[in-house]
Chains A and B, each alone.
Chain A
Amino acid sequence: QVQLVQSGAEVKKPGSSVKVSCKASGGTFSSYAINWVRQAPGQGLEWMGGIIPIFGTANYAQKFQGRVSITADESTSTAYMELGSLRSEDAAVYYCAREGGVTGIFDYWGQGTLVTVSS
Chain B
Amino acid sequence: SQQGEEDPQALSIQEGENATMNCSYKTSINNLQWYRQNSGRGLVHLILIRSNEREKHSGRLRVTLDTSKKSSSLLITASRAADTASYFCATRRDTGRRALTFGSGTRLQVQP
Say whether A and B bind each other.
Answer: no
List B residues at the A interface (Cβ < 8 Å).
none
